[in-house]
Structures are given as C-alpha cells and as structure tokens.
Amino acid sequence: MPGTPQRYTVTAALPYANGPVHIGHLAGVYLPADIYVRYLRAQQRDVKFICGSDEHGVPITIRAQKEGVTPQQVVDKYHAIIRDSFQEFGVSFDIYSRTSSTTHAETASGFFKQLYEDDKFIEQTSEQYYDEKADQFLADRYIVGTCPNCGNDNAYGDQCEKCGTSLSPTELINPRSMLSGNSPILRETKHWYLPLDQYEPWLREWIVEGHKNDWKTNVYGQCKSWIDQGLHPRAVTRDLDWGVPVPVPGAEGKVLYVWFDAPIGYISATKDLLPGDAWKPYWQDAGTKLVHFIGKDNIVFHCIIFPAMLKAHGDYILPDNVPANEFLNLEGDKISTSRNWAVWLHEYLQDFPGKADVLRYVLCANAPENKDNDFTWKDFQARNNNELVANLGNFVNRALVLTHKFFAGKVPAAVGFTTEDEDVLRQLGEFPARIGELIDNYRFRDALNELMNLTRLGNKYLADTEPWKLIKTDEARTGTVLHVALQLAASLVTLMEPFLPYSAEKLGTMLNLEKGAWSAAGRPDSLATGHQLAAAALLFDKIEDATVEAQVQKLLDTKKANELAAAVAAPAKDDVSFEQFQTMDLRIGTIVAAEKVAKTKKLLKLSVDLGFDEPRTIVSGIAEHFLPEALVGQQVQVLLNLAPREIKGIQSQGMLLMAENADGSLSLMQPSSHVRPGSSIA
Ligand SMILES: [Zn+2]
C-alpha cells in the first residue's frame, strides 16, 4: 500500500457476552490489537480502536435458558465483567460498546434495509429444522450433529469449531436439538440469503490475487480454500426472538443472523464514539486503513461474509488486513469455556494485583502468531523472573540507583564518548525503526524480542563498563557511562509502552519524563545533563514457586472435577441367582485396632469386632487411602465367609467392602446409624 494512510480504523473481535474473557482471547486478539494501536498513537497517527460486546446470537439465549434468567440479564452481567477486565488489563479501546444498543439496532437494521431495497438478497422458502417439543426453529447453535468435513460429533449448525468449516444446519449428519436432545423435523420457513456465489469472482480477485503477499499465510490459506471449494448463498436471517428484528414486511418473529449484525457492530460503535457524521471517514474514506484483529475461528466471517456485505452495500471501504492468530492452549490442553479449562482474565487480575504487564508480556512473548502455542504457569514464572526481573528491570534499576548514589539523582554530563559509547548510542538509534517495522507487519512477538534485545544491550554495556567500580578511579568517565545508560532507559518509556503500558508509565515517573513520539524515541539527548530523576523503585518483582503452584493446583482441581463429572458407571456383571447371593455372609463390624503391615505400602492389619468372643483379623489394601488411627471406631461392611488366606504371614479372616470413586479414591460403606457389631446385611 503506497504512502501512509490518513487514518486507521482498528477493530478487535466483539467478545460474546455469554462468559468472561480468558488468556486465549487476549493472546489471539486483544493484546496484539492493543499493541498495534498504542504504537500508532505513539506515532501520532489518527486511529480509532473499536470494540464492544456481541450480545445477540444463540449462545446467549441458551445460556439464559440454562441459568433461568432473561437474555438481557445474561448480557448485562458479562458485558460489565468483560468491559472492566479489559480496562484493568490496559486494553485501550476508544470505545467499548454493545450490540444491544439503540444505535446498533438502527445501524444494522438500516444496513439490511438498504441491501433489501437494492435487491441484493435472495428471498427463499425452505425446510428448516424444527423442534416440535420446544415449539421452535433450531437456528445455528440450537442444533448439533456430526461435521460432514471432519467427523466431529459436536459440530454446531453454523460452524464446526474443530475444523473451522462454516456450515448450514442441513449439512449436519445425525442432527439433534440442543433444547430437547430430540431429532428435529423439517418445517417450511422464509429467509433472506446473501448470494455469496455471486461475489466469488470478486473475492477471488480481491483476496486470492490481491492479498497473496500481505495477508498472513494461515488467513490467506483458509480464505483461498473456501473460495476454491465454491461459495453458496447464505441465510442472513433467523427464526428467533432475540436479536435485531428483520425490518421488512412478512418477517414477523425473525431477527438478523448474529453474524450479519455483529460486524456492523464495529460501525455502530464508531457512531457511538463520534458526533454526527464524524464516523463516516473511518468507514467510508479510501484514505482509511481498516484492520480487523480476530481469532482464527472468525476468519470466514471477516474475510468472506462481512466484505461481501460491505461490497453489496457499496458505501464502505474493505479491510486492508485481517491478522488472525492461531489458538493458545493451556498446560497442553485446548482452552475450553464449558470445561472451565482457562485462565480467566478477571480472576488473574484478582490473583495478581498490579501485574497486568506480566501477563501482557508472557502472552505476547509466546503469542500463537503462526501456529498454536501453549501457556504454562512454569513458563509464566520463568519469563517474569528471568526476562522481566533479571533483564529489563535489572538494567533500569542499576542505571537509576547508581545515578542516585553517585550523582544525587541528576543526569551526569557526558565527557567525551568512547567508541563503545558511540556504538551503543548508534544501536539505540536503530531500535525504534526496527521494532516499528515489525509491529507494522503484525509481528508482535519479534517486536517484543527486539525490545528485550535493547535492554540486553543496556545490561551488557553496564557489565562491560562496571560504573560501580569505575567510580573509585574515574568519576567523569562513570558520569558518561550513566549518561549513556540513562538515554537508553529513557527510550524505553516510549518503546515499551505498547507492550507494557503500566511499567512504561512507572518508568516515566521515575525518570521524570513524559512518553515521547515514536520517531523521536531513542535520541541520545532525550535526558539532558542535570535533569533531576525521581526516586527509583523496582519495575517488576520475582514470582515465587508457591504462587504458580497454587494456580497449577487450581487447574488440577478443575481437571479432577471434569473427570468426575464425565465418569460413567462400569458395565453390569453377569446375573447371579438368589441362592448364589445367599451364600455370601455379609456383616457390619466395628474396627477396634488398625496398624500398618511392616515393609508394605498398601496393607493395613485391622482387628474388627463382629460380635464374636474375639475380634477377627482382616488384612486390607487400603493403607494409601486411610490413616490407621482414623479407622479405629469406624463401622464397616465385611464379607465374613471369604476363605481365610495368609497375607505377609498374617491370617486374614474376611474382606472389607469399599466404594471406589471415579478417581480411584475409596469410601467406607457405613450404616446410616450405629448398629450392633455382627449384624447381618441382607
Ligand atoms: Zn469439522
């Protein structure tokens, strides 16, 4: 694209307001978008950063039904949680709007109406799945079945989340209703379709030919594959009662498809942000660069369907780029809202107060830019301790503390630069352009790595020059070294701001320096001789083992709860006759003594009162589940007439009966009230 755009419209995927935001969302969408926008602002570009809650669609109504509340209550709750956690995480939207707003209803409705009046839709009556028991058509996620593309058994009516294919409900194999679990019937209903097939030649020219070199290969590849498979007309209305009503005659009880109205939400949010017609240049002027940040599951909607809508309308610009990321996994497992396998942003912010930048750093350093990636708490701790504390924080802290110690906190004069000083200053001058170019090309991971290379350069310079030793022999030279080191620290205020905004602000306060424009950053004279610094404080502190172990334990607990919930009963054994059953002598006994069997891990020797003159000795393999002293006095079930056998030299005269949980733990089988030892079970 020749020249610098006049202005930028940057959108981040609208989060569904049916649950909170997790680290996968942040790494895939919101963090890269925020870094990009903060960088543009540092260059004093005209940019609007647009987002909001997506409050329509079937996931919202399903959640409402599950929780026994209204869809509005669901979206009000999650809109607030999402908005507040984004803000605390430093995601610097110019507006965080919502698609249940009046502006949005008018905008989406107006958009549809114009396409309708311009005859851009196909009107078609067809048979759609209907749940007779629930008395409702089954749109999108109300229906699940087997994906015809990859065989996933839980593909939704609009998309298979496993392979990313966009689907129609009638394409599903063995469809079933999410409302009742029943097989649905087909019933006639009228809908409006966007004939995507008519846009295929244009999409091919625009994407396959036009964006071969500037779109990410994962995005380009997905788009090309869909276009090559052939596009089909796509219904943009639904039989539902939650959403933007279809604004044309004969459409009672129908709303706009959520994927028709949601991307229009970017436009309505811009209208909410700006007065009068001021929103228009951001969406309709050819000098505007439009960039959509999304996750890979949204590629089809942002690269094929929304552009086709914009093209059909005719008044709008098209996205310049759609830098979608791959997925982030958590501790080797796919992040899942339904399985609660996630690190939730609002919980992180509670558990790690004042550490938004640490998570920003780790998620960017490990971002799934080109392939799926994994977040682990061990890596989180290591990156904090080895990179933020030992590299970035250590450099800044040494430069400031030594200046306070030797020069009363005033930037010392530089008296004659050596080749080494000049080399460091020259390298420093090259960083802003290098980091900026990587951000311009959506390579945020590499950009962050360059930022860390700059602080590595600073640490190496201090290690080589050793100003803490030099002060004893050459105060003037020490002053020059710290002068150079402080210029490097000063450039960080601007260069690290897109990635670590809170730490950049903190550093700016310590240096008594405002953030500068990106192009001027790193200039060797940005801190003048004699400039007074404020007090030094640590930018980052160490994260201890116990802190991350607690987070890992939280995930292990989740995993265990999921396993218990998913456990199924063992299959039934073969029948026995009543006579066979009666041969077993089952009794209640009271444990009167218990001790571990020497030189074994699993065995306990128990004395059980079964109502006879002497207690019986029973050896049981339960030592890993119960402490001997906790068993004394407990009543238990015993199979009395199991043939005696010798275990580790002890004669065992019976067997304890236990219940085994799905996770392998054991429970005693006790009577509901205390009974006389020796009582029969029948
Ligand atoms: Zn699939």
Q: What is the dihedral of CA 149, 154, 155, 157, to 10 degrees?
A: 140
Phi, psi of 193, rounded to the nearest 5 degrees: -120, 140
Distance (Å) from CA 79 to ligand 1 centroid: 30
Distance (Å) from CA 90 to ligand 1 centroid: 35
Helix pair 196-203, 217-229: axis angle to 10 deg? 130
Distance (Å) from CA 65 to ligand 1 centroid: 27
Distance (Å) from CA 577 to ligand 1 centroid: 49
Distances (CA, A) of 150 to 143, 183, 203: 17, 21, 25
Mean per-residue pLDDT, 403-422: 96
Distance (Å) from CA 229 to ligand 1 centroid: 15
36 CB-side CA count, 13 A: 27
Distance (Å) from CA 255 to ligand 1 centroid: 27
Least confident range from 52-66, 217-231, 423-437, 451-465: namely: 52-66
Q: For residue 51, list its beta bridge partners.
A: 96
Give residue 311's pLDDT.
97
User: Helix (H) and strand (E) counts for the chain?
Assistant: 23, 24
Q: What percent of the chain has pLDDT over 70?
A: 99
pLDDT tens profile 322-377: 999 999 999 999 998 878 899 999 999 999 999 999 999 999 999 999 899 999 99
Topology (CATH) of 119-238? Methionyl-trna Synthetase; domain 2 (2.170.220)
Q: What percent of the chain has pLDDT over 90?
A: 78
Query: Domain spanning 345-366+374-520 has what CATH number?
Result: 1.10.730.10
Sequential DSSP letters for 39-86: HHHHTT--EEEEEEEB--SHHHHHHHHHHTS-HHHHHHHHHHHHHHHH
Give residue 521's pLDDT.
55
Q: Is pLDDT above 80 for 658?
A: yes
Most confident of 62-76, 123-137, 259-273: 259-273
Residue 408 CB contacts under 8 Å (≥ 6 apart), including other chains: none
Residue 458 CB contacts under 8 Å (≥ 6 apart), including other chains: 395, 399, 485, 488, 489
Which residues belong to CATH 3.40.50.620 in the chain?
Answer: 7-111+255-325
Give residue 1's pLDDT.
44
Most confident of 6-15, 120-129, 135-144: 6-15
d(CA 575, CA 143): 40
447 band by pLDDT with thresholds 50, 70 and 90: very high
Give the residue carrying structure tokens 């908005």: 83
Name the strand (E) or helix (H) holding 509. helix 501-511
Mean per-residue pLDDT, 534-539: 96
Give residue 565's pLDDT.
79
Query: Domain spanning 7-111+255-325 has what CATH number?
Result: 3.40.50.620
3-state secondary structure 621-654: CCCCCCCHHHHCCCEEEEECCCCCEEECCEEECC
pLDDT tens profile 295-327: 988 999 999 999 999 999 999 999 999 999 999
Give residue 535's pLDDT.
96
Give residue 329's pLDDT.
95
d(CA 555, CA 22): 14
Q: Is pLDDT above 50 for 47?
A: yes
Which residues belong to CATH 2.40.50.140 in the chain?
Answer: 578-668
Phi, psi of 615, rounded to the nearest 5 degrees: -65, 150
pLDDT tens profile 387-405: 999 999 999 999 999 999 9
Q: Which residue ranges make up the annotated binding site?
A: 147, 150, 160, 163, 337
Q: Which residue ranges make up the annotated binding site for ATP?
A: 337
Distance (Å) from CA 296 to ligand 1 centroid: 14
pLDDT tens profile 217-234: 999 999 999 999 999 999
Q: Which residue, 627, 624, 590, is CA-closest to 609?
A: 590
List the structure tokens of 384.
Answer: 């904090």
Q: Is pLDDT above 70 for 28?
A: yes
Sequential DSSP letters for 231-286: ---EE-EEE-SSSPBP-STT-TTEEE-HHHHHHHHHHHHHHHHSSTTTTHHHHH-T
Domain 578-668: homologous superfamily in CATH = Nucleic acid-binding proteins (2.40.50.140)
d(CA 664, CA 273): 57
Distance (Å) from CA 677 to ligand 1 centroid: 60
Distance (Å) from CA 156 to ligand 1 centroid: 9
Distance (Å) from CA 305 to ligand 1 centroid: 19
Which residues belong to CATH 1.10.730.10 in the chain?
Answer: 345-366+374-520
Q: Which residue ranges make up the annotated binding site for Zn(2+)?
A: 147, 150, 160, 163
Distance (Å) from CA 153 to ligand 1 centroid: 9
Distance (Å) from CA 565 to ligand 1 centroid: 25
Contact 131, 177 (CB under 8 A): yes
Contact 319, 307 (CB under 8 A): yes
Contact 400, 537 (CB under 8 A): no
Distance (Å) from CA 152 to ligand 1 centroid: 5
d(CA 395, CA 464): 13
481 band by pLDDT with thresholds 50, 70 and 90: very high
Distance (Å) from CA 159 to ligand 1 centroid: 8
Q: Is pLDDT above 90 for 48?
A: yes
Instruction: Please state, rounded to an integer, the average pLDDT across all residues of the chain.
Output: 93
Give residue 94's pLDDT.
98
